[in-house]
Amino acid sequence: MTSIEREFQIAPIVQESVVHNSRTLFNLQSLTASLFGVGAGILGLESYYGFLFYIICSLLTTLLFYVLRVAPSSLPAGKGAFDTSQYFRSPYEFWTGGLLNGLAGFILTWTLFFGLVRA
């Protein structure tokens, strides 16, 4: 028996809460990705600039999510800055998971509004 397993048995993690947390994040990310697509299309961004816009905006959203929703309760609980382990299992899932989740929605609305506005 490893000590990590022991640690989980002493302080168990409720699976439903983990699912709920990541689902909330996923909803936010997919919705904002579509809106970023609208923005990129109206600005008329093409190729690399569009994807760059998406990456920056998506990271900014995650940062805002951290600052507004996670930090107020995780910092007093003794977690360090930018530590999301109170609500999310892996930091990569939190910080970069949104990039892939919303990409399809982003491309859809980007193409649509690019077509409507520019071409």
Partner 1 sequence: MAQVPVQTIHRDPQLFYWILVPITIVMILTGVLRHYATVLMATAPKKLDQKTIREQRSLLHGINVRSNFHVLSKRSFTTRRDALTTAYESGAYLKDPERRGQAPPNPMSDPSSMEGMMGMMKNQMAMIIPNTLIMSWINAFFSGYVIMKLPFPLTIKFKSMLQAGVATKDMDPRWMSSISWYFLCIFGLQSVFNFLLGNDNAASQMAQQMGQMAPPTGQMFGPGVDPDKQFIAEVENLAVIEHYSVLDGVEQRLLEGITV
> Which residues would be at the binding site for partner 1 (CB under 8 A)?
1, 6, 9-10, 23, 26-27, 30-31, 33-34, 40-41, 45-48, 50-51, 102, 104-112, 114-116, 118-119
Instruction: Single out the residue of 31, 33, 94 nearest to residue 62, CA to CA.
Output: 94
How far is the C-alpha of 56 from the C-alpha of 46, rounded, in Å?
15
CB of 117 to partner 1, least distance (A): 10
CB of 50 to partner 1, least distance (A): 6
Question: Dihedral, CA atoms, 25, 27, 33, 35, nearest 10 degrees?
Answer: -130
Q: Which is nearer to partner 1, 84 or 102 (CB)?
A: 102
Q: Which is nearer to partner 1, 99 or 112 (CB)?
A: 112
DSSP tag of 84: -
